[in-house]
């Protein structure tokens, strides 16, 4: 296992802000799916840092639920924006 990189206080705060922001985005786009997974703490616990920020390690079913809720919210918001037209 690779040795963990030691971060400065500024780097640690930057990582914490990135993690919080990512969790906020998941909650904003798929709040029901996040609750079904156990909430943001569970989502954070199953996440790992990637080149684009923290990403949760989820099975296909969990990703599908997040994706479906996100798309349904987008579709609903588009209908509202278009005056309710289908």
Total domains in the chain come to 1
Owning domain of residue 35: 9-81
Q: For residue 86, is it within any domain?
A: no
Q: For residue 66, is it within any domain?
A: yes
Indicate yes or no: pTM above 0.85.
Answer: no
Q: For residue 16, is it within any domain?
A: yes
> What is the pLDDT, as a whole number, of residue 24?
94
Q: For residue 4, is it within any domain?
A: no
Q: For residue 57, is it within any domain?
A: yes
pLDDT in tens, the chain (86 residues): 667 789 899 999 998 999 999 999 999 999 999 999 999 999 999 999 888 888 999 999 999 999 999 999 999 988 888 776 55
Q: For residue 68, is it within any domain?
A: yes
> What is the pLDDT, as a whole number, of residue 85?
56
3-state SS record for 2-66: CCCCCCCHHHHHHHHHHHHHHHHHHHHHCHHHHHHHCCHHHHHHCEEEECCEEEECCCHHHHHHH
């Amino acid at each position: 296992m690779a040795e963990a990189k030691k971060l400065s206080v500024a780097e640690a705060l930057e990582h914490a802000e990135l993690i919080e922001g990512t969790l906020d985005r998941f909650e904003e786009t798929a709040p029901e799916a996040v609750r079904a997974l156990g909430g943001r703490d569970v989502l954070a616990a199953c996440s790992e840092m990637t080149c684009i920020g923290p990403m949760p390690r989820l099975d296909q079913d969990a990703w599908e639920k997040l994706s479906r809720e996100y798309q349904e919210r987008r579709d609903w918001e588009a209908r509202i924006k278009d005056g309710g037209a289908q």
